Structure 1
Amino acid sequence: MSKTPVTAVFDIGKTNKKFFLFDEDLNVVFSTYTRLDPLPDEDDFPSEPLGPLCEWMLQTFKEALKSEEFQLKKLNFSCHGASLVHTDAAGNPTTPLYDYLKPFPEDLLSRFYEENGGKMNFCRATSSPPLAMLNSGLQLYFIKYAKPELFRKIKHSFHFPQFLSFLFTGEKVSDYTSIGCHTGLWDYEANDYHEWVDREGIRPLLPPIVPGNTLLKTKPELGNIPCGIGVHDSSSALLPYLKQETEPFALLSTGTWAITINPFNKTKLTKKELKRDCLHFLSIKGVPIKISRLFIGEEHKHQIDELYAHFNLPLGTYKKLKFELEIYEKVARQKQKRVRFQYLNPSLFDMEQAEANDWSVFPEFTEAYYTFIHELTELQVASIQLVTQNAPVNRLFVDGGFNANDIFVEMLRLKLPEMTIIPSDFPNGSALGAAMLASMN
């Protein structure tokens, strides 16, 4: 019996680590996933469990190689950004994979901005809002001055997707989608690394940049299979739409973050936009793409836990709700803000929020949940408009976890009447994009 030729993709999120096999029509024919507990770093802050992750990936891939049903023809990776893996000369990690939520010493951060022309000038030059550890390039500055003994051991610094490619191929490369993802490394005016990278002696640690559709080969013991260099997940999620669509559109890619991407917006960043978490990504070819971000996945998780506890309801209750216009109109008439956000800052958008959550003012869960989503989507609409107001589009695709949330999607429709809101046909968008990249050659 002949085997089905497939492209394998590891799609590594912060929560779920997934493995897909795509057939030649780019349909998923197999998938599996795992979740791994964080490991404490040397400061006792949770970090990505890099060792267990590598073991799981290699074992999963070797099992797929032995499959009697599938023949692995290509391999690629998509994963979350803002993460660097530092290795020694032998390719072994020399530091933990620091979590992007790890605190950055304030005095060190202030010194960095002072040395580089001031915070907002630097942020504008690098299209990177001031996000501390989330500006992953600054992690190298942090290690150099806060942990010099570790810095001395570093010979190579990989963006996370390219480290995974290195794990399978032994080849050291960098790609534009990771470099351009609010790292503080790239000077968008100069179209090269920012001058601080050379001043601090960082450039020699960064592998050469190659095009996003480059194919390498897996190591002989892993089958000598054509292997991609990996791609930043949000950039990857855009690729299926770019291939399918001929008219301008924007994409709202949702999960832990809601990232609005307008590939047709060529305007320069303003300082006001930067403060509102609007920035540029780089495409697989190194072309700037304007995006805005909102931390809605974590916010939703926090608020829903509070709501379930208050109303004494089981997990998953909100998923049973369907949109009802009457309930929405009732909560929309309410002038007083009811929600105190944990992770979002409405004042950045000149909006107010409640002093504290008081769920007891609601007679039941549904109205409380509608109120939360109403106030959340007010912020989401403001975030979307950051990338659409100067480059209007009439269609917005919504993919990722929130595209299945009927209340969220319908509220966006009512608040953005000038746009057609389209829940996505690409549920595994970032993995699909990585599979498409591997198939471009």
Structure 2
Amino acid sequence: MNVVAIFDIGKTNKKVFLFNENYQIVWEKSVVLDETVDEDGFPCENSVALKNWIADRFTELKELKEYILKAVNFSTYGASFIYVDHDGNALTPLYNYLKPYPEELLEAFYPKYKGKKKFAVKTASPLLGSLNSGMQIYRFKEEKPELFAKVKYCLHLPQYLSSIFTHQYFTDITSIGCHTSLWNFKKMKYHKWVTNEGILDKLPPIHNAEVSIKIENEIAVGIGLHDSSAALIPYILNFTEPFVLLSTGTWSISLNPFNDTPLTPEELQKDCLCFLQYKNVPVKAARLFAGNTHEMQSKRIAHHFELPSDFYKEITYNKDVIADLKITNFKEISLNTDTYIEKCPFENRNLDKFKNYEVAYHQLIMDIVTQQKLSTHLVIHNSPVKKIFVDGGFSKNAIFMNLLAQAFPAMEVYAASMAQASALGAALAIHNSWNPKPIQNDLIDLKFYKH
């Protein structure tokens, strides 16, 4: 059986999947690798352990008797760089994007480029410190100039993993376009600071994510993609009518591939940004920390009512409870858009006022959906979208899905399910390099929710 191997590298879980020619997963393996620390003692990815695990899995895959390995690709978390020398060896740890950024460096940087507001608008990203991974390169250059001089290439994590196999060095547009502060979205090229600060020469050429490099005479190796952008690919290939993808996990990210209007300063303040998808098209996105809110507040409910932490899995959608809550509790908190997106009103609700945990949990989801409506509306506004697809954790939550459908009565709202969207997207990106079959149009299962 011909297969493609996808290394799907998350911050916590590292996975490898084999997909057959019909894009079904036929084999998988995962591992959680212990973190290490950088020279400042801050936790970071153990890039040596990661490289070894990937090399070992590759050897294992080639030895599997029942599969013929035709291709390999990578989808990984973003905002991460590895700096390599002329031989492709890493010169530094894989720094953590959560590492605090020195304020004095930022204060010196932004005034050179027309100040924070204009810089954020041009690069289509909120200012997020180390999460703007281009600023990690700037920090490295400023703090360790001697070591920086030895850098041949600054590689985004997916392209570094690809280079281990191919010994070739590229940049991928989906990684540049992921809140890096490197890209000028108006001019669709690197921002001038990248040239001014002497960084451009250390960024390898931009390469098409659909093109692969042959190794060992027969295996096609892709250059890798940023995971959020990879997760969009199955939807873009399966649906032609305009849609928004609400990708839910710790963050709920509303992605609209059919909205290329420039970001406004107000949208940036509300945590909007632009991604670049693999066809080089901007995707307007809005982030909400909804999964994290759900985890924290459902724990608070569990503690208050003395329940196990996963109590909510047994709760079914109850429209009568919702109707009562709309009358009694909803007017307590004013609907101020800005504060609503920043902080879920449930955090300020008194749990003693709820007669039982079922009512409290319905209120939590009502509050999250109200936040979600405001966040998602930021990317739907002024675009022709008529469908919302929800994938990830909240797509399996019937209360969330029913309330979301009610929140968007003019839209068709669907829970979408497929195995491993990011990995599937990375496999589909290099389809033409290994798979003679046409891509089927039934890769995604949809469940419609009436409003």
- Give me the TM-score of the superposition, normalised by structure 2: 0.89
Distance 2:154 2:342 in 1: 39
Deviation at 1:155, TM superposition (A): 2.4
- Other-structure match for 1:85: 82
- 1:195 paired to 2:195: no
- Other-structure match for 1:304: 298
| Contact 2:344–2:371 (8 Å) recurs in 1 | no
- 1:55 paired to 2:55: no
Deviation at 1:80, TM superposition (A): 1.3
Distance 2:40 2:350 in 1: 36
- Other-structure match for 1:341: none
- Name which of structure 1's ranges 195-204 and 399-408 shifts more when overlaid on structure 2: 399-408
| Contact 1:332–1:374 (8 Å) recurs in 2 | no
Structure 1 residues 293 and 125: CA distance shift in structure 2, 3 A: same
Structure 1 residues 239 and 47: CA distance shift in structure 2, 3 A: same
How many residues are paired up? 430
Q: Secondary structure of 2:330's partner?
A: coil
Distance 1:129 1:20 in 2: 34
- Other-structure match for 2:129: 132
Structure 1 residues 299 and 88: CA distance shift in structure 2, 3 A: farther
Distance 1:150 1:330 in 2: 64
- Other-structure match for 2:406: 414
Instruction: Please tell me the residue identity of whatever aligns with 1:238.
Output: L
| Contact 2:162–2:222 (8 Å) recurs in 1 | yes
Deviation at 1:158, TM superposition (A): 0.7
Q: 1:371 aligns with which of 363, 368, 372?
A: 363
- Other-structure match for 1:281: 275
Instruction: Please tell me the residue identity of whatever aligns with 2:204.
Output: P
Instruction: Please tell me the residue identity of whatever aligns with 2:256.
Output: N
- Other-structure match for 2:256: 262
Q: 1:249 aligns with which of 243, 256, 260?
A: 243
Alignment deviations for residues 85-140 of structure 1 (CA, whole Å, 9 cap, x no partner):
11222222222222222111122112221111111101111111111111111111
| Contact 1:251–1:397 (8 Å) recurs in 2 | yes
- Other-structure match for 1:433: 425
- Other-structure match for 1:172: 169
| Contact 2:82–2:156 (8 Å) recurs in 1 | yes
- 1:69 paired to 2:66: yes
- Other-structure match for 1:342: none
Q: 1:396 aligns with which of 380, 388, 391?
A: 388
| Contact 2:346–2:367 (8 Å) recurs in 1 | no
Instruction: Please tell me the residue identity of whatever aligns with 1:67.
Output: L
Instruction: Please tell me the residue identity of whatever aligns with 1:410.
Output: N
Aligned residues: CA RMSD: 2.3
- Other-structure match for 1:118: 115
Q: 2:318 aligns with which of 311, 319, 324?
A: 324
| Contact 2:270–2:338 (8 Å) recurs in 1 | no
Percent of pairs identical after alignment? Answer: 44
- Name which of structure 1's ranges 358-367 and 23-32 shifts more when overlaid on structure 2: 358-367
- 1:237 paired to 2:237: no
Instruction: Please tell me the residue identity of whatever aligns with 2:87.
Output: A
Deviation at 1:149, TM superposition (A): 5.0
Instruction: Please tell me the residue identity of whatever aligns with 2:162.
Output: S
Distance 1:113 1:233 in 2: 29
User: Any unmatched runs of 5+ in structure 2?
Assistant: 434-451
Alignment of 1:29-40 (within 5 A): 29-40=26-37
- 1:163 paired to 2:163: no
User: Any unmatched runs of 5+ in structure 1?
Assistant: 339-344
Structure 1 residues 324 and 37: CA distance shift in structure 2, 3 A: farther
Alignment deviations for residues 368-391 of structure 1 (CA, whole Å, 9 cap, x no partner):
222222212211111111111110
Alignment deviations for residues 149-200 of structure 1 (CA, whole Å, 9 cap, x no partner):
5434432111111111112221110011111111100111222111110111
| Contact 2:288–2:341 (8 Å) recurs in 1 | no
| Contact 2:243–2:389 (8 Å) recurs in 1 | yes
- Give me the TM-score of the superposition, normalised by structure 1: 0.91
Distance 1:265 1:93 in 2: 38
Deviation at 1:42, TM superposition (A): 2.2
Runs of 4+ in 1 over 4 A off after TM superposition: 348-352, 354-358
- Other-structure match for 2:106: 109
Structure 1 residues 109 and 434: CA distance shift in structure 2, 3 A: same
Distance 1:113 1:51 in 2: 34
Alignment of 1:137-148 (within 5 A): 137-148=134-145
| Contact 1:257–1:293 (8 Å) recurs in 2 | yes
- Name which of structure 1's ranges 327-336 and 178-187 shifts more when overlaid on structure 2: 327-336
- Other-structure match for 2:182: 185
Distance 2:361 2:318 in 1: 12
Structure 1 residues 299 and 57: CA distance shift in structure 2, 3 A: farther
Structure 1 residues 58 and 263: CA distance shift in structure 2, 3 A: same
- Other-structure match for 1:7: 4
Structure 1 residues 192 and 397: CA distance shift in structure 2, 3 A: same
